[in-house]
Structure formats: C-alpha cells, structure tokens
C-alpha cells in the first residue's frame, strides 16, 4: 500500500472530571465521526485518518487522563508512516490534547475546534506548525476569547495561525455545520498542498 501524503489524527472531546469509561458511541466521539469520514472520503489515499479513543471520559486535573492514549495514538501513526506529516484535529478537550501534542515536530498542522485551552496550552505548539482554531461566539463551555488570544500569541511568535469565529455558534458544532466541516476539509486540503 502506498504511503499517504498526510496522516490525520482526530481527537474527540470529553469533560473536566469523570472516570466513566470512554465509549466510541458517546456523543463526543460520535460528533467527530463525520469529520473523520468526510476527510477520508474527500482525499482518498492521499490521507490516512485515525480517530483516537481514551480509557476514561475526563481530563481529571493533573492526571491528564487522555494524554497517554493520545500520545500512543500519535506514536503509532509516526511508526506506521515514517516521515509523513501528521495533522491533528481536536474538539473541546480534544482541542486541548492537540495543543499539547503539538510539541511533536512531526505534527505539521493543528485544527482546534472549540478548544478547551487551559493554562496557555497553545504555548506547547512547536514553531513550525500551522494552526487554525474555530470557535463559536456563543460557546458557554469553552472560551472563544481565550482561543482567539492563543492564536494571537502564536501569530506573534511567527506561526502560521488563524482564528475563525462562528457567529451565533455553540460548543457542539451542530449549528453552521457547513462552516465547521467545510473549513476542516479546506484545512486538510491546504495541508496536502504544502
């Protein structure tokens, strides 16, 4: 099988504190399947898409419970597709995860969808990454202004970083579906064209 031009790791959201087992059928995981499927369908063999799973549903403070599973998923992609750029797509808690995984030099592109950025998570992203954050103006679970601040800081550091505000958009991305998904597909297309 021919190597892809880009590997894509999709990281679903979760919650602040919970030891409930993560399930592939919980809403946060299911919310990301349309992204995974549309990226694979649009770009075919040029990409390989993998959607991560975690052991539990919560971040759980300093335990950062999903991080070992997310890092393992990234490491597996790196081993499978040596020297292939990796794009990360994460929603909510998954947006926090992609910022932290963004320290890895093989990560070329980061798409953060309504990210739950805490404690300047974005500062971990390496200087060579391209970053796009999309956030709904009416999100009450995560903070669009903090996301915009993070992008401004990344841009000031010299990164190719952009912020898109979704007018009247909420956290679940169930509004303006064409915008959320269209921008995600454009983002992956731009990553392939670099």
pLDDT < 50 positions in the chain: none
Please give the Cα distance from 118 to 128 (Å, whole number): 22
Spatial distance between the Cα atoms of 159 and 91, rounded to a whole number of angstroms: 21
| pLDDT value for 2 | 72
Structure tokens at 13: 């959201």
Give the domain ranges of the chain.
6-193
| Mode of pairing for the β-strands spanning 86-91 and 6-11 | parallel
Distance from C-alpha of 190 to C-alpha of 94, rounded to nearest angstrom: 21
pLDDT of amino acid 119:
87
CA 161/CA 181 separation, integer angstroms? 19
Any idea which architecture 6-193 has in CATH?
3-Layer(aba) Sandwich (3.40)
Q: What does the pLDDT read at residue 3?
A: 83
- Output the CA–CA distances (angstroms, integers) from residue 64 to 58, 70, 95, 110, 186, in the order listed: 8, 11, 13, 20, 31
């Amino acid at each position: 099988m021919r190597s892809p031009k880009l590997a894509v790791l999709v990281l679903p959201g979760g919650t602040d504190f919970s030891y409930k087992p993560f399930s592939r059928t919980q809403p946060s995981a299911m919310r990301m399947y349309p992204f995974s499927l549309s990226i694979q369908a649009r770009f075919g063999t040029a990409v390989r898409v993998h959607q991560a799973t975690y052991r539990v549903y919560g971040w759980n403070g300093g335990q950062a419970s999903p991080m070992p599973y997310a890092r393992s998923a990234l490491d597996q992609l790196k081993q499978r597709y040596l020297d292939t750029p990796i794009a990360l797509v994460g929603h909510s808690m998954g947006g926090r995860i992609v910022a932290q995984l963004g320290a890895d030099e093989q990560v070329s592109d980061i798409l953060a969808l309504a990210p739950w950025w805490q404690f300047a998570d974005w500062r971990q992203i390496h200087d060579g990454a391209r970053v796009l954050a999309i956030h709904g103006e009416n999100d009450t679970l995560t903070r669009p202004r903090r996301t915009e601040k993070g992008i401004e800081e990344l841009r000031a550091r010299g990164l190719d970083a952009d912020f898109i505000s979704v007018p009247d958009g909420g956290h679940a991305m169930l509004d303006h579906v064409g915008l959320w998904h269209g921008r995600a597909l454009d983002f992956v297309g731009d990553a392939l064209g670099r």
